[in-house]
Each structure stands twice: as C-alpha cells, then as structure tokens.
Amino acid sequence: MVAQHANALTTITDKLQSLGILDQSDRDALGSLVFTVNTAPANHDLVRQGEAATSLQVLLDGYACRYKITAGGARQIVSFHLPGDILDAQQLLLGSADHFVQTITSATIGVVPLAEFRRILKLRPNIAEALWRDTLIDASIYREWVLNVGKRDVTSRIAHMLCEFAFRRENAGLGPPERCELPMTQHQIADATGLSAVHVNRVLHELARNGLIAADKPEVKIVDWSQLCRIGDFDPSYLHGAA
C-alpha cells in the first residue's frame, strides 16, 4: 500500500512535469497531497454524466475511455486514456460532467479530494498552468477526432486511431509502437470511429492482409508502424508531446 502510494505520486508528478516547469515547492505541494488508491473492474463507470465530482481521479494502471450517448442510445467514444491521465480535470472548474468515463480494462486509480486539490491550485500557479496545458492538448486531440470521424475513409480512420493509441502508449512508457498490443474490443474501436463492429472487423482483416497489423488474439498487434502512420494520415504534432 505504501509502495502503491509512492508509485501514484510519481505518476502524477511525472505527468505534470511533462506539461510544465515545476519547482521544488510545486513538487513538495504535490508530495503533500492526501489521496487514496482504488481499483475498478473493466467496463466500470468512473465518471457519470450529470454528476458533480467530489474528487480528482488519476489513472494509474489500466486503460479507460470517455464516451457520450445520444437520445437514441448510440454510444460514441470520444477519447482513450492511459496511465498518468487525469480523468476529470474539467470538474475542477465546471459543474457537472457532460460525459461518462469508463474503464476498458481493470484499473487502479488515484483519488484526490477535490477541496484538497483546489487548495494546491490556488497556491501553486505552475501546477494550474500545467493542467491548463493538459486541457489544451485534450482539446487538440478532440479536434483531430472530429476530423477523423468526419472526413477520413474507414481504413484511414481506423489506422489513425490505432496510431494515436500506440504513440501515446509509447509516450506513457508502455513500450514501442511496433509490437503494441491494443486492449480494446472491436466493438469499442467501432464506438470510437463511428462505425459498426462488423465493418471494423472487416477493415482490421484488410489491414492484416496488407501486413500492417497482426491479429494476436484476442488483441491486435501493430506490425508495420511506418506504413500504418502513412495509411492513417497520422502526424503526431497535434498531440503536442502529450504523454
């Protein structure tokens, strides 16, 4: 438990340090944070639309996604999340959540009481700036997703999604994009790309036939990274170095 806590602290500090310049006082403030470590099973909602947050959640291990649903019940995943990602920074300043956050795999989450974190923000503007920068990068990623879902043909669209995930996974220190395994189901890929699961299946097979990926069941593995980036029209500059 102590080891887990130390680990969690490192994760948060590393994340914020990658987003802005922190001095020793900033790191001390982060070190003084009171927080707990929770675990959640796969497909478990961590944030529910309409609810106000009482804490700040940081993904420490496992994968998650954000999603929204239409009145008709159709679900659209709007982003994927990796260890180190802050899952509900928006609740720091906005009222209730406008979307859901759900685990994809089983996950461990660092939970900081909201009042506690707000206190730190007031005292340490560097930390607030780092979080603002994180929000700006999130917004940039959403823009790319609007483009991806709106204008790319299906092969390119799925390839782009895979590239983004593999790239961010590497940035988060989880291994190189080559031989990257993906934790999500084809149904989840469909929800993220605005397609049907059936069609995702066909396109993945097409990509596999062309030697870009390999079905390393039950997951998918990237074989030809540079080709996949070309097909997927993937240029990571929109990530602005995001972890």
Partner DNA sequence: CGCAGCGTTGAACGTATTCAAAAGAGGTGG
Partner DNA sequence: CCACCTCTTTTGAATACGTTCAACGCTGCG
Site for DNA, residues 127 to 156, rule: CB under 7 A: 153-154
Among 37, 39, 46, residue whose Cα is nearest residue 8? 37
Residues that contact DNA, how many (by CB under 7 A): 18
The reply to whether 52 sits near a second copy by the rule CB under 8 A is no
Residue 185: which of a second copy, DNA, none does it interact with, CB under 5 to 8 A by kind?
DNA
Among 224, 213, 220, 203, residue whose Cα is nearest residue 154? 203
- Minimum separation from the CB atom of position 238 to a second copy (A): 4
The reply to whether 169 sits near a second copy by the rule CB under 8 A is no
Q: Binding residue for DNA (CB under 7 A) from 95, 197, 211, 240? A: 197
* Pairwise CA distance, residues 209 & 139, whole Å: 34
Query: Dihedral (C-alpha) 117, 29, 169, 218: value to the nearest 10 degrees?
Result: -60
2: burial class by Cβ within 10 Å (0-12, 13-18, 19+)? exposed
Classify 96 as helix, strand or coil: strand
Residue 204: which of a second copy, DNA, none does it interact with, CB under 5 to 8 A by kind?
DNA
Contact 189, 181 (CB under 8 A): no
Q: Give the interface segment with DNA, choosing from 55-63, 83-91, 109-117, 190-198 (CB under 7 A).
A: 190-198
Classify 101 as helix, strand or coil: strand
Residue 201: which of DNA, a second copy, none does it interact with, CB under 5 to 8 A by kind?
DNA
Q: Which residue has the tokens 């190189």?
A: 176
Q: In the complex with DNA, which residue's Cβ is closer, 60 or 158?
A: 158
Contacts of 201 (CB under 8 A, 6+ apart): 186
- Minimum separation from the CB atom of position 206 to a second copy (A): 18
Q: How far is CA 34 from the centre of its chain?
A: 24
Element housing 142 (H / E): helix 125-151
Q: Give the interface segment with a second copy, choosing from 103-111, 122-130, 172-180, 202-210 (CB under 8 A).
A: 122-130
The reply to whether 142 sits near a second copy by the rule CB under 8 A is yes
Residues that bind a second copy (CB under 8 A): 66, 68-72, 74-76, 78-79, 89-90, 93-96, 98-99, 122, 125, 128-129, 131-133, 135-140, 142-147, 149-152, 156, 193-194, 233, 237-238, 240
Residues that bind DNA (CB under 7 A): 153-154, 185-187, 194-199, 201-202, 204-205, 215, 217-218
